[in-house]
Structure 1
Amino acid sequence: MANNIISSLGGGSGIDTATLINDLVSLNRAPDANRLDAKETKLEAQISDYGLLRSALSELEGSVAQLGSADTFDAKSVSVPETTQLALTELDSSAVAGSYQVQIEQIAQSQSLASAGFASADAEIGKGEITLRFGDWSGALDDFTVDTEKTGATITIDDSNNTLEGLRDAINGADIGVQASIVSDGTSYRLLMTGPTGASNEIELTATEDAGAPGLAQFDFNATSQNMTQQQEGRDAILRVNGLQVTRETNSVDDVINGLSMDLFSASNTDTISITIGEDRDLAETAIRDFVEAYNTFLGAVEQLVGVNDETGEFGSLYNDSMADNIIDRVRNMIAASVPGIENGFASLAQLGIQTNVKDGTLSINEDPARINTNFNAVMSDNYDLVRDMFVPQTSSDSAAIEITNFTQNTRPGNYEVVITQQPSKGSLTGAAVPSFPLDTAGKDYSFEIDIDDKTAQISLPDGVVYASGAELAAELESLINASSELADSRTEVAVDFDGSALTFTSEAYGSSSLVAIKSVGADAAEMGLSVASGVAGTNVAGTVDGEVAFGSGQVLLPKLGTAAEGLALKVNEGATGASLNFSRGFAGGMSSLINSFLASNGLIASREENIEDDLTEIEDDRTDLDRRTDAYRARLESQFLAMELIVNNLNNTGSFLEDINDRLPFTAPK
C-alpha cells in the first residue's frame, strides 16, 4: 500500500511530492533530534569526565595514604658491619635510634630424643594415649619443671595409627612444634623427636596404655620412666646487648633491640658486633613533597573538567556541574582548614610552611630562610614530632586501664569522657581446701571432667607421681587442661593457681560467656578439693561514653551507634573507672576519609554516574518517541499529498472532459 501511495504521489500534479515529504519530515524532526544528540554527547562526555575525576581523586588519595602511615614518619635506617655471626632480617619503624654492642655467647638448640630400635618402620607399638608437655629438665634428667605457658598435646594411638609410622604422623599432625621422624641406623628403625629450640621447650612424654594392647610405655620420657634416650639437650640463645645479658628460646630474635629482628648463626666469647640505628626522616619529607605535587596535579586535571580546556579553549563537560564543584570545593576547603581533634601543636598545612597560592589555588612549600616561623625545613628540623602528629591519626587516654584499639570512618574527632559502671571479669571456680601435701597419686583416681567456656576436657593425674606442694599440683593441672585436645583445638585456656589452701581455676576469657565448672569427679578427686560444682561466671564491661550507654562484650566497650564516638573500640582492663579520650584522624586520615567517601560504591560520584546513565536511557526512550511521532507525521503528509494528487487528477480529468465536449459543440468545435 505504501508503494502504491508513493507511486501515486506526483502522478497528477507533476510535483516531486515524495522528495518534498522527506524534506518536510527531516525539517520537522531535526530540532528534537539535534537536541537529543547534543544532550547525549554532553552526558557521555560527563560520564567520561567523572571517570577522569575519579582517577584524579584516586591518585591524590594514594599520596595522602602514604602521609597517613605512621611508618612513613617513624622510618629508621640501620648499619652493621659484615659478620657471619648474625643477619638482620627486619627493621621496624618502632626501633629506637641508638648504638648497640651485641655479643653472642651461645646459640639456641633443640632437645632431641630417640627411641629404642624397631624391626621396621611399620612395626606395631601398642595403643592408648601419649601426653606430651614442654618444660625444663634438670641436668641429671631426674626432675622436670612444666612450663604452663606452653601448650602440649595428648596424642591418641588406636587401630588406625598403632605403628611407628602412625606415631610419627600423629606427632607431626598435632602441630605443636615437635618434629618426629624415623631414622634407620642400619640395623633397626628409631623414632627421633626434636622439639623447638630453648631450654624450657624440652619434652616430657607419658604413655597411658590400653590394657589389651600395651607397648606405648616404650616411648615414656618422664621422671619415673625414661625409655627414650636424650641425644642433645635444649638450650637458650645467650647474648649481651650493651653489656646486659639476655636469653631467648630461639635464634630468630625480634625483641631484644626493639623493632629490630635478627637471626643468630654462631657464638663467640670475644667478638662484638656494632649495630647503629638512626632516624630516617627523608621518607616523611619526600611523602610531604609528593603530596604537594600530587595535589597540584589534581587541581590541573580537574580544572580541565570544570573550567576551560587549555587544548580546545572550550568549557569542560562538568562546567557548572554542582556536584563536581562541590567535590572539588570540599577538597580545597580541607587543604585550608585546621585538623579537628588536635589540641596542641600544628593543626594546618600553613603552619608547616605549605602555603596556598592565591592566583590558582595550588600549593607551594616555603623554604625561605628569612621566614623562620613558617619555613618548612626549619619546622621539619625543630618540630618533627608535631609534624607527624598533624598528619597521622592519634588516639590518647589519660588512663592506662582504658585504651582505644580501633576507630572507623564514622568516628568523629574530638574528646570523649568514659565512665565504667561495671568491671570486666573472668569466670572462675575455687575448690575446697586440699587436706594435705605431699599428694601421692599411686593407685588413686584423681580424675575429673571440667568445662571451660563451654568446652569440656577429661583430666586425670598420672599414676605414681608425688606432688610436694599446691603450686606444683596447680602447674601440673594447668598444663594437662590446656594440653587437652578439646581445649587446644578451640584455643580456650585456663589458669590454675593455689592460694595456700585451695585450687582456683580461672578462664583466660572475659565476659558473661566465661565460666568454669566441674562436671564429674573421680573417686579420689576430693583429696584435691574438687567436687561437682559451678563457678562464678565472668562479667561484661559496662559503661557510658559522653553520657550515652555503651555496648560491652568481655573487655570491649563500643559507643552507641549514631553518636560522635561511634566506631571507637575501647579495651577496658580490670580496675578501670573512667578516662578522658582524645581522637584525631589527622590531616591525612581526614583527607583519605573524604576522598574515599566520594569514591565509594554508594558515594557521590557513583550516584552522579548512575543518574547520568538514567538520563542516557531516557534519551533512548525519547528517540523511540521521536521515531513514532516522525512516522505519524510522515503518514499524515503522505495522506494529505495523496488527497491533493487525487484532487488534481480529478481536476485534470474534468478538464480533459470539458475540452472534449468543447471540441464537439457546434460553435466551439474545430473546423
Structure 2
Amino acid sequence: MVDNNIISQLGGGSGIDTQKLVTDLVEISHAPQANRLDSREEKLQTQLSDYGILRSALADLESVVANLASPDIFDAKSVSVPDTSLFALSELDSSAQAGSYQVQVDQIARAQSLSSQTYASKSAEVGTGTLTLRLGDWNSALDDFTVNSEAVGATIEIDESNNSLEGLRDAINKADIGAQASIVADGNSYRLLITGPSGATNEVEITASEDAGAPGLANFNFNATNQALTQNQEGQDALVRVNGLQVSRASNSFDDVIDGLTIDLYNASVDETVNITINEDRNTAETAIRDFVDAYNVFMEQAKQLTGVNQETGKNGSLASDSLADNLVDRVKGFIGAAVPGLEGGFGSLANLGIQTKISDGTLQINEDPDRINTNFNAVMENNYGLVKSLFTPQTRSDSGSIEVTGFSKQTNPGSYDVQITQQATKGSLQAGSVVAGFPLDTTGKDYSFDIAVDGNQASVSLPDGVIYNTPEELATEIESLINVSEAVSGNRSSVSVSYDSGSGAFNFISDNYGSSSTLEITAIGGDTAELGLAVAAGTAGQNVAGTVDGEPAFGYGNVLLPKIGSSADGLSLLIKPGATSATVGFSRGFSGGLSSLINGFMVNNGLIDRREDNINESLVDIEDDRSDLERRTEAYRSRLSSQFLAMELIVNDLNSTGSFLEGLNDRLPFTSPNR
C-alpha cells in the first residue's frame, strides 16, 4: 500500500514493523465479525437443506396417505374365469359385487347396415339440402319406425362446400351420433355404406329435404314412405343369461349386467356356460395401511434428526429451535392421535383399529396381540372392515333421501349442517291449446312446422310429409324426437319432454332442465300447425331452488344448492330433489383426507414451508450485504491505521533528526567542543 511504502521509504524510524502491525490489528478486528457471519450463513444453509429433506419426507408420507383416501382401495376385488372364446373381461371395478355367476351368451349384438346406389366417383355430387337422422327400431316389414327417445339424432346440412359423396360421408361422421359412414368400392363405382350403432333400437331413419335447384339427397332416404337405401343387415341386441336370467344389451361391451364387471362379447353359444367368481380383496387395503404406518415412522425418524438430537452427531438438528418445523411435527403427531373431525359413530381414530403411538419415540405400532381382540388389527380388519373404510375415506351423509351431498371442496370444514328448503326448483313448461286435428293424423300435403326455443336454444321442427300418426301419444313422441334431434338443442345440453294430456286434449312441453334459465317458447308456426293446438307463445320459466344452510342464505342454481361462500359449509354441493323440505347433512374428509389436507397446507405453493424458505433466502442475502459492509469497514480501518502509523513514523523521524542536530550542536558550542 502507498502509506506502507512511504513508511518503508522513511526507513521505519521507530524500528517497529508497522505493516505487519496494521495487518494484525485489522485481522483482530475483522475475524470475530466475519466468523459470526460465516457461522450464521452455515446454519441458514443447513436449515435450507434440512427443510428440503423435511419437505421430501412430508411428500413421501402424503403420497401414501392419499392412496388410503380412495374408496377403491377398500373395495378392491379379484376375479377368476376359465378360458373361453365367448367373451373377455376387460375391467373389474371396485363396485363389483362378490359372488359366483354363471354366464351364457345366446346372441351377440350387431349394427344395422344401409347402402346407397352406385356413384361414378367419390367426388360425385349428391345434391344439397338437409338430412335428418334418427335412431330407433324398424319393424320386420320396414314400414313402421319407433323412435329411440334415449338416443341422440342429428340434422346435417349439405351445401356447395360438401356436395359430394365424400362430403356426405364426412358430414354424417361429424354429426357424432354413433352412426358411421364409409365409401365402399363396387367394381368401377362407389357406394355409401352407413352403419348404425349396434342394437335393435339403434337402427337408422333418414329423411331428406332437398334444395329445389340441386336435387339428389332423396337417394339417401330411408323412412316409412321412401326407402332409397338398401338394408343389408338389421340391428340386433346381445342376449346374455346370468344365473339363468336373460338380459339384452345394445352393445357387445357392457358393465351393467354384472355390476362393476366389463364384459366384451365375441361369440355366442347356447351350449356353453362360463362360471365367473368375484372375491373381495382386502389385502390391498391392509397393505396400504401397513405402508402408511411404515411411512409415518420413517417421517418421524427423519423429523427427529432435524428437530431434535441428531443420533449420529449427538448435536441438535438445525431445525431444533425453528418454530415452524416444531409446529409442523407437533400438528402431524396431534392429528395422528386425535379423533377424525366430522365422523359420527363407528371408528373415530387409529386407536380403534389397533394402531397405537409408542410413548418412547412417537412412532406407530400395529397391535397384533391375539389376546387383545377389541384392538387387535387383524380381528378389526376381519370383523369391522366397513368401519375401517369409513375411518380412512371421505364420507358424506344426509338424513333425507331428497337432499343428497354430491360434492365438497378444499374449503369445506368437516361437520354437520342443517339444510332448510324455502323454494322448490321447477322446470320450464309450456302447455299448448287443444288439438283440433283428428286421429289418425295424415301429414300429406300439410305444413305442420314450428320453431321452438328450448332453454334459449332455437330449433326448427317439421313433421315429415306423407306420414300417418295413429294416436296423439305417437305424435307427441315424434315431436319430442324432432326437437331433441336438433343440434342447437342437444349441442347445448338441453332437451324437452312432450306428452299428451287426454284430459285437456293438449300437448304439454317440459324442459328437462331445472332453474330460471329453463324456458320454452314457440316463436313461429307453419300454416297448418294450429290444428295441433300450437301457437306463438311463451311458456312458464322454471325457478331455482332456494334455502339456507346452517341458517345462512345459500345460492340456488337449478336444483343444486350451494352454501354461502366463506361459510364453514362452503364447497358442499347439494342436489335437491322434488319435495325436499329439510335435512341434516354431514361431511368428513376421513383420516386420510384430513391428514393430506394438513400436510398440503404446509407444502402447497406459497405455503408455510415456501414462506419459511423465502425468509431463509432473504437472510442469506442480508448476510452477503453484511459481509460487503464488513469489508468496506475493514478497508476503512486499515487505511485509518496506516495513516496513523505513517503520521507516527513522520514524527519519530523528525524527532530522530532533531536529536542528531542537537548532538552536533553540542560539539560546536564553546567550552563543550571535544577539541578544546
TM-score, normalised with respect to structure 1: 0.97
CA displacement 1:556-584 (0-9 Å, x = unmatched): 21111232212111111222111111212
Q: How far apart are the structure 1 equivalents of 2:623 and 2:48?
A: 15
Q: How far apart are the structure 1 equivalents of 2:13 and 2:576?
A: 100
One-letter identity of the residue aligned with 2:470:
A
2:664 pairs with one of 660, 663, 666:
660
Q: Does 1:27 align with 2:31?
A: no
Q: How far apart are the structure 2 equivalents of 1:217 and 1:69?
A: 55
Q: CA deviation at 1:5?
A: 5.3
One-letter identity of the residue aligned with 1:61:
E
Q: Does 1:472 align with 2:474?
A: yes
One-letter identity of the residue aligned with 1:311:
E
Q: How far apart are the structure 2 equivalents of 1:574 and 1:561?
A: 25
Question: What's 1:393 paired with?
Answer: 394
Q: How far apart are the structure 1 equivalents of 2:372 and 2:102?
A: 43
Q: How far apart are the structure 2 equivalents of 1:187 and 1:654?
A: 130
SS at match of 2:658: helix
One-letter identity of the residue aligned with 1:611:
N
Q: How far apart are the structure 1 equivalents of 2:506 and 2:448?
A: 16
Question: What's 1:596 paired with?
Answer: 600
Q: CA deviation at 1:428?
A: 1.7
SS at match of 2:612: helix
> Contact 1:512–1:554 (CA<8 Å) still a contact in 2?
yes
2:543 pairs with one of 539, 542, 548:
539
Percent same amino acid among aligned pairs? 64
Question: What's 1:499 paired with?
Answer: 501
Q: Does 1:553 align with 2:554?
A: no
TM-score, normalised with respect to structure 2: 0.97
CA displacement 1:418-444 (0-9 Å, x = unmatched): 111111121121211111323322222
One-letter identity of the residue aligned with 1:524:
D
Q: How far apart are the structure 1 equivalents of 2:500 and 2:63?
A: 56
Q: How far apart are the structure 1 equivalents of 2:592 and 2:3?
A: 76
2:454 pairs with one of 441, 452, 455:
452
Instruction: Identify which range, 596-605 or 235-244, moves more after superposition.
Output: 596-605
Question: What's 2:590 paired with?
Answer: 586
Instruction: Identify which range, 421-430 or 95-104, moves more after superposition.
Output: 421-430
Q: CA deviation at 1:650?
A: 1.4
> Contact 2:3–2:646 (CA<8 Å) still a contact in 1?
no
Q: Does 1:427 align with 2:428?
A: yes
Q: 1:381-420 residue pairs with structure 2 within 5 A? A: 381-420=382-421
Q: CA deviation at 1:525?
A: 1.6
Q: CA deviation at 1:51?
A: 0.9
One-letter identity of the residue aligned with 2:616:
I
Question: What's 1:632 paired with?
Answer: 636
Instruction: Identify which range, 3-12 or 602-611, moves more after superposition.
Output: 3-12
Q: Does 1:461 align with 2:463?
A: yes
SS at match of 1:177: coil
Q: CA deviation at 1:75?
A: 0.5
One-letter identity of the residue aligned with 1:573:
K
Question: What's 1:442 paired with?
Answer: 444
Q: CA deviation at 1:506?
A: 1.9
Instruction: Identify which range, 194-203 or 600-609, moves more after superposition.
Output: 600-609
One-letter identity of the residue aligned with 1:655:
G
Question: What's 1:571 paired with?
Answer: 575
Q: How far apart are the structure 2 equivalents of 1:6 and 1:448?
A: 109
> Contact 2:4–2:19 (CA<8 Å) still a contact in 1?
no
Q: CA deviation at 1:665?
A: 2.6
Residue 668 to residue 450, structure 1, CA distance change in 2 (3 Å): farther
> Contact 2:417–2:585 (CA<8 Å) still a contact in 1?
yes
SS at match of 1:32: helix
> Contact 2:108–2:267 (CA<8 Å) still a contact in 1?
yes
Q: 1:152-191 residue pairs with structure 2 within 5 A? A: 152-191=153-192
> Contact 1:305–1:316 (CA<8 Å) still a contact in 2?
yes
One-letter identity of the residue aligned with 1:471:
E
Question: What's 1:490 paired with?
Answer: 492
Q: CA deviation at 1:16?
A: 1.9
CA displacement 1:39-94 (0-9 Å, x = unmatched): 11111111111111111111111111121110111101101011010000000111
Q: 1:63-74 residue pairs with structure 2 within 5 A? A: 63-74=64-75
Question: What's 1:277 paired with?
Answer: 278
One-letter identity of the residue aligned with 1:395:
T
Question: What's 1:362 paired with?
Answer: 363
Q: CA deviation at 1:405?
A: 1.1
Q: Does 1:211 align with 2:215?
A: no
SS at match of 1:633: helix
Question: What's 1:258 paired with?
Answer: 259
Q: CA deviation at 1:4?
A: 4.9
> Contact 2:3–2:642 (CA<8 Å) still a contact in 1?
no
Q: CA deviation at 1:239?
A: 0.5
Q: 1:49-128 residue pairs with structure 2 within 5 A? A: 49-128=50-129
Which ranges in structure 1 are unaligned for 5 or more consecutive residues?
none
Which ranges in structure 2 are unaligned for 5 or more consecutive residues?
none
Q: 1:330-345 residue pairs with structure 2 within 5 A? A: 330-345=331-346
> Contact 2:6–2:646 (CA<8 Å) still a contact in 1?
no
Q: Does 1:513 align with 2:512?
A: no
Q: How far apart are the structure 2 equivalents of 1:444 and 1:670?
A: 159
Residue 516 to residue 664, structure 1, CA distance change in 2 (3 Å): same
CA displacement 1:111-138 (0-9 Å, x = unmatched): 0001111222222111111111100000
> Contact 1:6–1:18 (CA<8 Å) still a contact in 2?
no
CA displacement 1:169-218 (0-9 Å, x = unmatched): 11112122111111122142111110110001100011001111111111
CA displacement 1:525-566 (0-9 Å, x = unmatched): 211211111111111111111111111111221111232212
CA displacement 1:132-188 (0-9 Å, x = unmatched): 110000011010001122111111111111111211111112122111111122142
Q: How far apart are the structure 2 equivalents of 1:509 and 1:637?
A: 90
Aligned residues between the structures: 670
Q: CA deviation at 1:635?
A: 2.2
Q: How far apart are the structure 2 equivalents of 1:521 and 1:149?
A: 27
SS at match of 1:200: coil
SS at match of 2:300: helix
Q: How far apart are the structure 2 equivalents of 1:639 and 1:187?
A: 109
One-letter identity of the residue aligned with 1:219:
F
Question: What's 1:223 paired with?
Answer: 224
One-letter identity of the residue aligned with 1:364:
Q
Q: How far apart are the structure 2 equivalents of 1:387 and 1:60?
A: 20
One-letter identity of the residue aligned with 2:371:
A
